[in-house]
Amino acid sequence: MIWLQVEARLCLFKPSKKEFHEEVLIAEFETNILSAVQALYDSWGWFGVAALLVFENATGITPSEIILGLAGWMLISEHQLPPAMIFVGGFYSAIGSTLGSSLAYWAARLGGRPLVDKLAHWVKIDPAHITRVENQFHRWGIGFVLVGRVIPGVRTVVSIPAGLARMPFITFFVATFIGAYIWCSLLIGAGYILGHEWTIISQYLQRFFPYLATIGAAAFLAYLLIRRYVLGRSAFNLGKP
C-alpha cells in the first residue's frame, strides 16, 4: 500500500533524483515501522498495543492514530472479530494510555518545572506549548484533563500541568482513564471501519474535531453528575441517625 502511494506521487510530480531518494527512504522507513508493529501485535495482541501507548503517552513521540488505527485493522478487522471487540480493545488501550500519562504526571510532580523543561527538550516539545496547556488547566481544572484526552496536540501534554499543580492522583487517574477510553475506542473503531485505508484517520480527526470536543465535554458533564450524585448519597447516609 505504501509503495503504491509513493509510485503515484513519483508519477504525478516527477521529482528530482534527491527527492526520489528521499521518497524511497521514507517509504522504506514506514514499511519497517509497520512490519515491526505488526510483529508486535501478532506476538502480544492488545498487550502490545497497551505497551506502545504507555510509551506514546509518556513521551508524546509515536502518534496514537498509527498505533490504534493499525490495532483496529490488524487485531479486529483482519481477524473478522465482532465490532464489540472495539470496546474491549479500548479498555486495554486506555489502561496503557493512563499508565503512560501517570509516568508524565509523576515526573512533573516530583521533578517540577526544571525536569519538565529538560524532558521537553529531549522529546522536542515546545515549552511555550506546555505553558499554554498549563494556563488552560489552571482555568478549567479536572475538566481540561478529561476533555484534553480527546484533543490532538493536548492529550499527551495535559498530564504535565496536572502533575505540576499536584492534582490528586486518583482524580487525575480516573479523569485520564475516561478520556483515554473514549479516544482509544474512537480510533480503534476508525481503524476497524477503514481497514487498509487507516492512514486517512488523521484527515478525519481534523474534520470531526468539533464532534470530538463535544464528546469530551459530554463525558465531563457525566462525570460531574455522577460525582455529585455519589457525594449527595454519601452526605445523606452520614446524616441518618
pLDDT, averaged in runs of 10, over the chain (241 residues): 42 50 54 74 88 87 79 86 91 94 91 81 75 80 80 80 89 91 89 70 56 61 68 57 54
- Give how far Cα 95 sits from Cα of 188, 189, 212, Å: 14, 17, 20
Q: Which residue has the cell 464489540?
A: 84
Do 89 and 71 form a contact (C-beta atoms < 8 A)? yes
How far apart CA 173 and CA 16 sit, in angstroms, is: 51
Rounded to a whole number, what is the distance in angstroms from the first to the last CA of the chain?
A: 70
- Give how far Cα 128 sits from Cα of 121, 124, 133, Å: 12, 12, 9
According to the model, what pLDDT value does residue 99 have? 95
According to the model, what pLDDT value does residue 27 have? 54
How far apart CA 218 and CA 232 sit, in angstroms, is: 21
Q: What is the pTM of this model?
A: 0.68
According to the model, what pLDDT value does residue 106 have? 93
Alpha carbon 95 to its chain centroid, in Å, reads 11
According to the model, what pLDDT value does residue 231 have? 64
115: Cβ contacts below 8 Å, ≥ 6 apart: 107, 108
C-alpha cell at 53: 501507548
Q: Which residue has the cell 521537553?
A: 120
Using H for helix, E for strand and C for coil, what is the string for 121-166?
A: HHCCCCHHHHHHHHHHHHHHCHHHHHHHCCCCCCCCCCHHHHHHCC
